[in-house]
Chains A and B, each alone.
Chain A
Amino acid sequence: MISLAELSAGQKAEVVAVVAHGLMQRRLLDLGFVSGTPVVLELRAPFGDLRAYRIRDSVFALRAAESQSVKVRPVETGGKAR
């Protein structure tokens, strides 16, 4: 199990748990970061630690602190997701 922050470009994964607290936990849950959800690293911002992930038909950018709080399990690629 790794965190979102450790995904490489285009790598697919599945959310295992969110280990954030307070408003951040709430926000991540509301965006759909719950156990079993597929997520892909789409983009990295030039220079900074901002990363954009595709999840549930949308793309959201998170900073490193937030990315690290989402634990994921990488999944083998190939075949259609769901």
Chain B
Amino acid sequence: MKAAGSVAMPGVTAPAEATGAFVVALAGNPNTGKSTVFNALTGLHQHVGNWSGVTVGLAAGTYRHAEREYRVVDLPGTYSLVATSENEVVAREFLVFEDADVVVVVVDASALERNLGLVLQIREFTGRVVVCLNMMDGAARHGVQIDVAGLAAELGVPVVATTARDGLGIANLRAAIARVCAADDQPAPCPVHYPADAEEAVTTLMLDLVAKDPALPAPRWLAARALEGDAELVRRVLTGDAARRVEIPIVTTEEAERMAAATTGALWAEVGRLLEQTVRERAVDRPRLTARVDRVLTSAWGGYPLMFVGLVTAMWLTITGANYPSQWLAAALFWVADRGHEALAWAAAPDWLVGVLIDGVYRALAWVIAVMLPPMAIFFPIFTLLEDAGYLPRVAFNMDRMFARAGGSGQQALTMCMGFGCNAAGVTSCRIISSPRERLVAILTNNFAPCNGRFPTIILIASVFVATAFPPYLGAVVGAATVVATIGLGVVATLIVSGALTRTILRGEPSAFVLELPPYRRPKLLPVIYRSMYERTLRVLYRAVVAAAPAGLAIWLMGNTTIAGATPMSHVAGFLDGPGRLLGLDGIVLVGYVLAIPANEIVLPTIMMAYTGAGAMVDVEQLTGLETLLKGQGWTTLTAVSLLVFVVLHNPCSTTILTIRKETGSWKWAGLAFVLPLALGIAVLIPLVALARALGAG
């Protein structure tokens, strides 16, 4: 998710200028299908989801059409060109300063009225526009009838009807883009007429701007923004000494607010007129199914219980479903390891080489794949289905009360959900929070949402140590409940730490936020499976594999060389054993955590390898050997519980730390984000473990 989303702004257009490709910007309200259109145009796989704020950075891709190259830039969704949050700033900056050859405004045809506001704003500003009337299927289902040609005539730009999710209309969209790009004469911006006194003020300033800088693009639009209080924007657009000569009147906050009310009032009045002209039939109520489902899923009696039951069910499916495939995979992969041993023995390879390759690197990889692949291949499609159906904003809606109490933004629940996927992506997604203070709170606490990389550890410990203590028919349910409880611990930690931060170092007034509740959409199965496999499962697996190979090597070396009469592993583990015991763990587990800083995915494999490599001669041929191995190392239920707590309450991985550094621009916050959860974990575990031991456990 991160890679494409975090492309820096200059990088997006620079190559385009070099190659002479046309630059196509995809703008629009949040959740209208911009990324879906982007994917349809370029064949790439930008993340899409049924909630507002999926895309937070710029992503670029190219396609060829009639011998020409087009460079498409997917922008974050924005309700208007007057940005109020970081992701909207990204979109606005691109539209105003990057000078695209064409701006494709992606519009949700089933919510035309709201979408037309931004269309008109962009039309006020440029004429090089194509309107992509997307989600025509949804509009048709709700009985909305739009006069597409009439709309094009009214707006003065091409309007193309599409259903991007099914690839319908994309060829027409390409053709329309090509026509606008090839046209020499640039259609003029199309002004909205303001009430008399606003109109007069805007015109006066506009004439002054044009006099001082005749080449200025969209002077009327800029004048209106300046009078709404954003003089800074105009100064940045003006070139050379015009910037100095233009006199921008200083407006009071009150005047600016009055101007904003006047211009938006006029804009929406124009939207109303357009609708009357071009929409023959419109839906009065929400889609009935959405309204009904919402009444249940957000009700006082059902909201929380259903959220809980849903999560337990998802985890139960994951645990039960992953059990056998994991065992088969492990058996198959370790069978291959044995053949590798034989082959190397036959080739008379030296022992150390066999050790490094098979017992070190290969076994680490085999562990990672066998342990992680099956649960991810079940859990991620379920999660993606829920995301695509539109459930995440409802989670945020239900949980707002708690986040409000903690002084956080209502959007923090969404960024937390993204954190369940990957904390680095979760941290980036905090850009949708407009208040810098609340955004920082969300960034600093994102790590409490256990990510993809940590789920396998949680699931495995829950099913090996907790579930096995119960009869089989209960085991899976208890295991699932344990996983959910662990997630719950993460949520509680998020809320408590957010509350503590907003009452101490990040004090301030709660800021305004709006949360959009889109209609539920029927997810399309194939793209969901493809996306959850490609985007989530394989990416996590890749990260794990890349980190596991060197870690496997390191562990093998640490366990099979000698310094001062003992292996480095026993030195280090011995050194860390004291602190480890205090936390209910042991030295090896801490070694595992240190080695896993680059990727949390490899914690458990690293620990297993360290146990086996450090002299314990248990041969873990199959997953069932796991419990025996761990118990042989002195693990008890207390160790398992402590590990579950530590999985949630410990430092973020290095990728997340670097992302926090980038998003906050400061090592101070990144450092705090590292220390805070770790300190909390230690502070919780030491008394907990001491108490448990005093009561006679482990």
On A, residues with C-beta under 8 Å from B are 18, 20-27, 29-32, 34-35, 37, 42-50, 52, 54-63, 65-66, 80-81
Contact = CB atoms under 8 A, between A and B. Distances in A.
Interface string B334-377: 00000000000000000000000000000000000000000000
Contacts of B261: 18, 25, 29, 34
Q: Most A CB atoms within 10 A — which of B115, B303, B515?
A: B515
A65 B298 CA distance: 21
A46 B308 CA distance: 14
Interface of B: 79-80, 82, 84, 110-115, 117, 253, 257, 260-261, 264-265, 268, 271, 282-284, 286, 291, 294-295, 298-300, 303-304, 397-398, 400-402, 404, 410, 434, 510-518
Contacts of A25: 257, 260-261
Contacts of A61: 397, 400, 410, 514-517
A23 B264 contact: no
A32 B434 CA distance: 19
By DSSP majority rule, is chain B's interface helix, strand, loop, or mixed? helix
Contacts of B271: 32
Contacts of B79: 27, 30-31
B117 A48 contact: no
A21 B253 contact: yes
Contacts of A37: 268
B4 to A, nearest CB: 27
B112 A57 contact: yes
B304 A20 contact: no
What are the 7 A-B residue pairs with the smallest beta carbon separation, nearest first? A48-B401, A30-B80, A57-B111, A24-B512, A29-B264, A46-B303, A61-B515
A32 B510 CA distance: 23
14 contacts: A23-B511, A27-B84, A29-B265, A46-B401, A48-B401, A57-B112, A57-B113, A58-B114, A58-B516, A59-B517, A63-B510, A63-B512, A65-B512, A81-B284
A22 B402 CA distance: 26
Contacts of B510: 63, 65
A23 B400 contact: no
Contacts of B295: 43
A47 to B, nearest CB: 4
B126 to A, nearest CB: 19
B264 A42 contact: no
Q: Is the interface of A mostly helix, strand, loop or mixed?
A: mixed
A80 B404 CA distance: 37
A16 to B, nearest CB: 12
Most B CB contacts (10 A, CB to CB) among A18, A24, A32, A45 go to A45
Looking at A31, A47, A58, the one whose CB has the most chain B CB atoms below 10 A away is A58
Contacts of A24: 511-512
A57 B144 CA distance: 11
Nearest to B257: A25
Contact of B117 (A32, A42, A49): A32
B572 to A, nearest CB: 49
Contacts of A49: 401, 404
B512 A32 contact: no
B536 to A, nearest CB: 27
Nearest to A9: B295
Contacts of B515: 50, 52, 60-61
A54 B304 CA distance: 23
A58 B111 contact: yes
